Amino acid sequence: AAPPREQWTGQFGFIMSAIGSAVGLGNIWRFPGVAYENGGGAFLIPYLIALVTAGLPILFLDYALGHRFRGSAPTVFRRIGGRIGRFTESLGWFQVAIAFVIGLYYTAIIGWALSYFVFSFDLRWGDDPTSFLTDEYLQVSEPGLSTTFVPGVLIPLVFVWVAVIAVLAAGVKKGLERANVIAIPALGVAFLVLVVRALFLDGAVDGLNALFTPNWAALGDPSVWIAAYSQIFFSLSIAFGIMVTYSSYRKRRANLTTPGLVVAFTNCSFELLAGIGVFATLGFFAFQQGTTIDQLDGITGVGLSFMTFPAIVSQMPGGPLFGCLFFGSLVLAGFTSLISILQVVSAGVQEKFGLTSRSAPVVVGAVSAVLSILLFSTTTGLLALDVMDEWANNIGIEFSAVVVTVLVFWVLRRGRELEYHLNAVSTFKVGRIWLFFVAVLAPVLLTYMLYERIKDLVLDGYSDMPGWYLATFGWGTIVFCIIAAIVLTAFRWVRSPDEFTPWPP
Ligand code: MET
């Protein structure tokens, strides 16, 4: 017989690991720019509404699914499907596929951050960090598929892949949990020092004003709401298998909702803190240039972390230390999320194909690493990354959330059972309001937003990129996930999942 299912040591290990997953590049690299672009201070309203109406409810749903049905996403959706489990399993594989795709580019950004951590010591980017990034470091060429590898990008990327495979192969307790228990406190300290330092820079207050001054008109724009919901899903690591997988390693009698509140609160606090730190720093930059923040370029996404920040670090007293703290934080935050994302893929493959917890990460990691290296260590990596991120997050994850909620609550009608399961041991009880949010409000809102987003992308394209390119890397990503879901569902289970994760309990 196969060994029993792996477990966290206890609640603390789980909470640290769940925070490790939630607090990631999304908090530092994505949130500040998204908030700024979508109404600044006014963005906090859709953000908080998204948190309460969909973020927390779906976080609890993911916990309940993983914990009750005790498996990776495909196992969970097969089990909950009962007689139609052969079909519902595909939803689990769809989530695995999204996690797989995100893992490919997520690693690339961690690799860049690792390079920039080293570059911080001697401010390697020189006087023009923008051209340093695109011309010298990434050596960006026209959109396309290049086979010219860039060694400076390739080497850290390989390093990140080896590290993540090693952590996963060491197992849930000795690998994932241990990595998080060490990295998360370190991240907390480093980031706090960074933010406090930023607040004492000249111009910091102007930066905060730029971030928090509300543009109320933005609230009437559906794309602002979509951005808020996408950000919450990505940031809490929900609706694409991560929390399902992580909660399946919890002990049988476990308090589910209370740790969920702790994790969500910590994540959102960290996110706001990142917004404050980043904008205080931008305020300083604007002050130095004798301009205002709205005149600055590159305060979102890749540009913010890898062009604007290096420029600021160069102008700052004690810049190298500040740079190390910033890029070191990115590496720690990113890595602890990356291990959760690869675990989704690894656990799914492990269970279906009867692999061991040691061999699965090696197989899955090797395949992912090769693809990731092919896509992102060549001269066309940056563009592919931007497009894949947009589609995976704004289409893939939201689509998955809609299908999960409709399937679980309307097709299979398992709402009361999951409510009961959540309440059995948890101290924070959920009830009718939870059911209403997760079963009615979330699917309705998300369906509408998905429709709007798809319409926009079809009619207006994205960032002036050529249509064929969006078809390949954007829509292609979604098509890839759907095909992967169908194909992986069609394979036979090497062993029944019930052998290694006993079911029914
Ligand atoms: N929650 C993570 C973040 O905010 C993303 C999911 S795990 C790759 O970056």
The ligand 1 atom at the shortest distance from the C-alpha of residue 25 is: 9
Question: Which residue's entry shows tokens 């006087």?
Answer: 127
- What percentage of the chain reaches a pLDDT higher than 90? 81
User: Which token pair is 232?
Assistant: 């919450």
- Nearest C-alpha neighbor of 384 from the set 157, 37, 138: 138
Is the Cβ atom of 110 under 6 angstroms away from ligand 1?
A: no
Is the Cβ atom of 164 under 6 angstroms away from ligand 1?
A: no
Is the Cβ atom of 405 under 6 angstroms away from ligand 1?
A: no
Q: What is the pLDDT of residue 505?
A: 64
Is the Cβ atom of 330 under 6 angstroms away from ligand 1?
A: no
The mean pLDDT of the chain is 93
pLDDT band at 500 (very low <50, low <70, confident <90, very high): low
**What's the 264 CA to ligand 1 centre distance in angstroms?**
13
Is the Cβ atom of 325 under 6 angstroms away from ligand 1?
A: no
Is the Cβ atom of 27 under 6 angstroms away from ligand 1?
A: yes
What pLDDT, in 10s, does the model give residues 104-162?
A: 999 999 999 999 999 999 999 999 998 999 889 988 887 767 778 899 999 999 999 99
Q: What is the pLDDT of residue 158?
A: 97
**23, 25, 180, best to mutate for ligand 1 pocket (most atoms within 8 Å of CB):** 25
User: Which token pair is 27?
Assistant: 């908090």
The ligand 1 atom at the shortest distance from the C-alpha of residue 31 is: 4
**237, 341, 397, best to mutate for ligand 1 pocket (most atoms within 8 Å of CB):** 237
Cα gap 159→326, rounded to integer Å = 20
Angle between helices 257-289 and 222-236 (to 10 degrees): 120
**What's the 371 CA to ligand 1 centre distance in angstroms?**
20
- Determine the average pLDDT of the residues in 336-345: 98
Cα gap 245→96, rounded to integer Å = 10
Residue of minimum CA distance from atom 7 in ligand 1: 337
Cα gap 232→440, rounded to integer Å = 18
The ligand 1 atom at the shortest distance from the C-alpha of residue 240 is: 6
The ligand 1 atom at the shortest distance from the C-alpha of residue 103 is: 8
Partners of 40 in the β-ladder? 214
Q: What is the pLDDT of residue 297?
A: 78
The ligand 1 atom at the shortest distance from the C-alpha of residue 333 is: 9
What pLDDT, in 10s, does the model give residues 212-250?
A: 999 999 999 988 998 899 899 999 999 999 999 999 999
Is the Cβ atom of 335 under 6 angstroms away from ligand 1?
A: no
Which segments within 346-410 are labelled E, that is strand? none
**What's the 117 CA to ligand 1 centre distance in angstroms?**
20
Contact 103, 385 (CB under 8 A): no
Q: What is the pLDDT of residue 300?
A: 72
**What's the 24 CA to ligand 1 centre distance in angstroms?**
5
Q: What is the pLDDT of residue 1?
A: 54
- Residue 379 identity (one-letter amino acid): T
Cα gap 415→484, rounded to integer Å = 28
What is the chain's Cα-based Rg? 22
Question: Cα separations (Å) of 96 from 125, 244, 335, 488?
Answer: 37, 11, 18, 10
Kindly give the residue spans of alpha helices, DSSP state H, lying in 356-493. 359-376, 381-391, 398-405, 415-425, 432-436, 442-460, 467-469, 476-490
